A and B are shown apart, each in its own frame.
Chain A
Amino acid sequence: MPSPNRTPDTEPLGWLEHRLPVMSLLRHHYVAFPMPRNLNALWSFGAFLIVTMAFMVASGLFLAINYTPDITQAFASVEAIDRQIPSGWFIRSLHMGGVTMLFGCLYIHIGRSLWYGSYKAPRELLWLTGLGLMLMVMVTAFAGYVLPWGQMSYWGATVILNAVHAVPVIGQPLSELLLGGDTLGNVALHRLFVLHFTMAFAILGVIALHVAALHVVKSNNPSGVDPVSPKQTLPFHPYYTSRDGFALCLFLMVYAGLVFFLPDLLTLADNYVQANPLVTPRDIRPEWYFAPFYAILRAVPSRLGGLLLASGSLAVLFVLPWLDRSAIRPAAQRPMVRLSLPLAFAAFILLGIAGMHAPTPAWLLASRVAIAWWFIHFLLVTPLASEREISS
């Protein structure tokens, strides 16, 4: 027997509902969805990331239409986008500024999860899919940066591919798979273009997984205690739609400031010189979002060691839910973590600054101290603190 408030089949929405319940699904997940009442502004960064990704995919499609993945024409085709293609300068700025906004939000989003313990049970899979997304975004950003075929594209990619080559066992076949030859050339550029394009859509798929996981375990909140009664929650709409809407306007103002007024702020001028395998730039610098990892690579005297520490610095995040077994989520309520975690954040920022500077002894020392603290925090302080909190 149909329920009394069931929409009759004669109505278009009712017809759809009985065959594919998208409307009730949307209502359940984006209208009536219960949210904690006490979320702060840091919980808006997930929304920022989704919006930025949408901008990246949309602008990327238009760039791809006008881009030529061939080493003799790639640079000129990007110049044509900037100069002759109608609104090409805008689309390209949107894409370039979007990378900065994407990584900025990504690092803040992850930092928020660390500070409020959002990686803990039952949200481990949410955490892991999120970290997976970060790795995918990094691979995509690397491949995308090679495409304009400027000096920094070429030499940055050479540094990274040499590093990949140094990985034991899989390194050589992997770098050969990317290069398709002995040196970075036409075949590699074509492969990186396809990789960049494909990864973008793969990221969209994993975002769906990440959001699905979120809707099973629900949002964490600053108190770290999940709401138990409906009185402690508010429906997603209109409470968080309105608040995210306001936050998005502020976010887009920063994004627009970057696109319209500071397009050169975050790019390296050297990348407007066409790639030349015979001329090595005086200093090869990464974009700011890779600077922390570049600093680690440089601070370790051995190439393999640097690679292991750089990937290890991310690997510790993957095992964090099992290193930190304390039930207390917010760092503010944990005496040791409250001091140690901000220092780890500072270490990450310090590494980023070091990676943008020439490797003088002072910066190398600062990098080494920062690397040491990053690992001490995650491998020593975190397990010890949780041991103590469990036993007390």
Chain B
Amino acid sequence: MTRWTRNLILAASLTALPACASTPAQRGLMVFQQVCSTCHGMEHVAYGDMSSLGLSPDEIRKWAADQQMPNGTDDNGDPKTRPATATDPILSPYPNEAIGRLANHGLLPPDLSRLALTLPGGAEKIRQILLSYAPTPAGVTLDEGRYYNTALKWKHIGMPPPLQDGMLTYPDGTPPTSAQMASDVSAFLDGIAHPHQTERKRIGIYVLAYLALMALLTFLLQRRIWKGRR
């Protein structure tokens, strides 16, 4: 993909900001929308799933409507698209794997749905990678499309350095430093890789409390029944 089209997508996605970002995951979503999504998708995650981050249905619908979904072919056999809806998956910007590789020196930007779970080191590793770019040291030659990165075992990565200080503006006034954006987006990806985590823990506390109460009652019951029978 040329710099020109990349900038175009960037400009388009600027129109779809959540009204007020406050939690790290919400700010991380902004980073995803404006930076990551120019190359990466989350094909198992639907736009509507963002309600778990506290986005309103209107914000989700507005964001989705700005994205295009493949929609079969027209009468001439040319591919058609339509605006996405809340139930559509957040697809990669590339229509297929071949084009994705073509645009990235033969490497395919990975899907981010479960990356924070499947990448050894998890979300923290993602944060480190984002902040470990460095100028290529003298004497080291890297292939075209490879970038020096000290967080990786072989010290290089196919992803160009994605974050620059001040590249976006957080509506809540958080300073958009690279370190801030890296920790926000890794918090966001951690939540995406572990869906319904908050709900899971909240319900779990009620279930455990109920079972503990039942355990106490059944313990007293069985003690009364067994009295003198030992």
Chain B interface residue count, CB cutoff 8 Å, equals 34
Confirm or deny: A263 has a beta carbon within 8 angstroms of a beta carbon on chain B.
yes
Interface residues of A in 242-292 (CB under 8 A from B): 242-243, 245-246, 248-250, 252-253, 256-257, 259-261, 263-264, 269-270, 272-273
User: Is B207 close to A, CB under 8 A?
Assistant: yes
Given A37-B229, A242-B222, A249-B218: A79 in contact with B204 (beta carbons within 8 A): no
Q: Determine the chain A residues whose CB is within 8 A of the CB of B195 once the complex forms.
A: 82-83, 89
Which residues on B are within 8 Å of A, measured CB to CB?
A: 43-46, 48-49, 87, 113-114, 117-118, 193-196, 200-201, 203-205, 207-208, 211-212, 214-215, 218-219, 221-222, 225-226, 229-230
Shortest Cβ distance from A136 into chain B, in angstroms? 29
A83 with B229: CB separation less than 8 A: no
What is the interface size of chain A, counting residues whose CB is below 8 A from a CB of the partner? 33
In the assembled complex, the Cα of A125 lies from the Cα of B230 at a distance in Å of 31
Q: Which of A79, A84, A238, A256 contacts B211 (CB 8 A)?
A: A256
Q: Are B222 and A243 in contact (CB under 8 A)?
A: yes
3 A-B pairs with least C-beta separation: A260-B204, A249-B215, A79-B44
User: Assuming the A-B contacts A234-B229, A242-B221, are A76 and B215 also in contact, with contact meaning beta carbons closer than 8 angstroms in the complex?
Assistant: no
Interface flag for A62 (CB, 8 Å) = no
- Most-contacted residue by chain B among A93, A245, A260 (CB, 10 A): A260
The closest CB in chain A to the CB of B111 belongs to: A274
Tell me if A322 is interfacial: C-beta within 8 Å of chain B.
no
Q: Which of A84, A242, A272 makes the CB contact (< 8 A) with B218?
A: A242
> Would you call A80 an interface residue if the criterion is a C-beta within 8 Å of the partner chain's C-beta atoms?
yes
B226 lies within 8 A of A243 (CB): yes
Complex contacts, A201 vs chain B, CB 8 Å: none
How many angstroms between the C-alpha atoms of A42 and B226 in the bound complex? 18
Q: A83-B49, A89-B196, A260-B205 given. 5 additional CB < 8 A pairs?
A: A79-B44, A80-B44, A245-B222, A256-B204, A273-B118
Smallest CB–CB gap between A8 and chain B, Å? 33
Q: A55: CB under 8 A from chain B?
A: no
Contacts of A234 in B (CB 8 A): 229
Chain A residues with Cβ below 8 Å from B221 are: 242, 245-246
